[in-house]
Structure 1
Amino acid sequence: MNIGFIGTGSMGSTLVEALADSGALSPEQMIITNRTYAKAERLAARYPGMQAVRSNTEAAAGCGLIFLCIKPLEFKTVIDEIRASLQPEQVIISITSPVLLAHLEEWLPCKVAKVIPSITNRVWSGASLCIYGTRIEPADMHTIEDLMSHISSPLRIEERYTRVVSDLSSCGPAFMAFLLQQFIEAAADETGIDRDNASRLAANMLLGTGLLLTEGGMTTEDLQQRVAVPGGITDAALKLLRVELDDVFRRVIRTTHAKFQEDLEKVDQSFTVKR
């Protein structure tokens, strides 16, 4: 089965690279396009057999799955371009959270789904969020999840939880990287430790922590209790963090949800036009 990718920006190219490098797809199965054709052409050149095409219609034609890796406000334009060439058995997959399944099902004659990837999928790790429209059949779900299982742990969710689950799986790596950066810079500034060494230590610490919380079977509470001796150094630092951070992540979630609602309203307006 051929699979099309419309959009090879940051997340689109990450998805293409991960699926090709993991062996989930052979380059010959992949047809890609981008608004700037040269960008798609450069990506395809790295994977002999991968086909870069100049139009969205070419990328969609004859493909069993078509990933739309584009910005929310570009969806209506792209859908208008490809709609007439789509067949009922094809599956359009959005990787963009503010575009609802209802938007897609109203305007498309085929099956629709959403798969929200994560930057961690680039190293065949993390989750991918799978959300399905009403026309999707069990065989389609199996095909999509089997594909994504090569680079992630596919997780079926209800669409109403898209934002908060995306905060954890897709935005989370950036949030954790920001906190780790602050930790590294503070260590270097306060003690003079070499920043490269501090970065390597911190990155490996984060990797090991993730493994303890997954393969090691620990909870976040277990891990803190195992490391922090009551009255010890770690315990003193954790008390400071509890005071200083307090409700910061509640405010982070409120911020992402507010921006999501703003984007959703704009997307809704872009789809609210006469047929």
Structure 2
Amino acid sequence: MNWGVIGTGNMGSVLIDAWLTNGVIEEDELWIHNRTLTKAFDIKEKYKDVNVCTTPEKVVRNADIIFVCVKPLQIMPLLNELKSHLNADQCIISITSPISVTELEGAVPCQVGRIIPSITNRAGQGATLLTFSENMDKTMRAYLKQSCRLFSVPIEIDESITRVSSDIVSCGPAFLSYLIQALIQAANDYADLDKEKGMLFAEEMIVGFGKLIEEGHYTLATLQEKVTVKGGVTGAGLKVFDEELGNIFYHLLEATHGKYYEDRDKVSKQL
């Protein structure tokens, strides 16, 4: 099958890298378009046989599965432009949460689904969150799920938990990066630890942390328990978390859901 990507920004390019470095598809099976064409040609510099299209319509004419990787408010206008070029055997995949699978299905005459990626997929790791239309052909569903297994751990989810699941899977790497950088900055402020060296320490810790989880040595809970010696310094640090974190992550989810509902309101006016 030929695959297409409309929108080769951050997540579109992450998906392309994940597919082509993990053997999901061949370069010449991929058709891409970006509103700023130079971004699409930048990808072709890296993958010589990828097909760059000057219009999104050309992607649709050549691809069986089309990933729409544009901003939420651009999706419905784009699909309105493309629907006359689509047929029932094709499949549109959205990677964003504010438009439901049912709404996608009502906008185009083809199969639809949602696959929310993570930047961790670039390394052939991490989850992808899958929600398919009930009307999707069983063969297409199985093909997409198996394809996702080549670069991620595909997890089917109910539409109702899309946003909060995405906060962990897709936004989580940015949240954790922020917290770790804040720890490094505090080490610099408090003990004059060189920030470059602190970054090295942290990056090596993260890689090792991931391996411990991946290889099944620990769960998150048992890892914390193993590191925390009774009466030791780790416990003293965790006590600060208990006392000072409060509802920070609850408020974080309030903020992400607030932005989601803001986008939903704007999208509903387009429908």
TM range (shorter): over 0.9
Aligned to 1:188: 188
Aligned to 1:249: 249
Aligned to 1:84: 84
Equivalent residues in 2 for 1:1-275 (5 A)?
Answer: 1-271=1-271
Unaligned runs of 5+ in 2: none
TM-score using structure 2 length: 0.96
TM-score using structure 1 length: 0.95
Deviations 1:161-196 (A, max 9, x none): 100110110000000000000011111222222222
Unaligned runs of 5+ in 1: none
Percentage of identical aligned residues = 37
User: Quick check: 223-232 or 79-88, which moved more?
Assistant: 223-232
Deviations 1:53-91 (A, max 9, x none): 111110011322100000011112211111011110111
Q: Do 1:66 and 1:93's aligned partners in 2 also have CA atoms closer than 8 Å?
A: yes
Deviations 1:237-272 (A, max 9, x none): 11011111122111111211121111111111111x
User: Shift of the alpha carbon at 1:226?
Assistant: 1.0
Q: Do 1:56 and 1:81's aligned partners in 2 also have CA atoms closer than 8 Å?
A: no
Q: Do 2:31 and 2:62's aligned partners in 1 also have CA atoms closer than 8 Å?
A: no
Partners of 2:102 and 2:192 in 1: CA distance: 55
User: Shift of the alpha carbon at 1:122?
Assistant: 1.0
Q: Secondary structure at the match of 1:49?
A: coil
Partners of 2:77 and 2:247 in 1: CA distance: 40
Deviations 1:3-61 (A, max 9, x none): 11111111111111221122211110000001112221221232111110111110011
Q: Do 1:145 and 1:154's aligned partners in 2 also have CA atoms closer than 8 Å?
A: yes
Q: Secondary structure at the match of 1:115?
A: strand
Deviations 1:111-131 (A, max 9, x none): 000000011111111101110
Q: Do 1:4 and 1:32's aligned partners in 2 also have CA atoms closer than 8 Å?
A: yes
Number of residue pairs the alignment of both structures matches: 271
Deviations 1:106-149 (A, max 9, x none): 11100000000011111111101110012212211211112221
Partners of 2:221 and 2:153 in 1: CA distance: 23
User: Shift of the alpha carbon at 1:98?
Assistant: 0.7
Partners of 2:134 and 2:145 in 1: CA distance: 17
RMSD of the TM alignment (CA)?
1.2
Superposed structure 1 runs of 4+ greater than 4 Å apart: none
Q: Do 2:27 and 2:49's aligned partners in 1 also have CA atoms closer than 8 Å?
A: yes
User: Shift of the alpha carbon at 1:105?
Assistant: 0.9
The one-letter amino acid of 2:8's match is T
Q: Secondary structure at the match of 2:114?
A: strand
The one-letter amino acid of 1:198's match is G
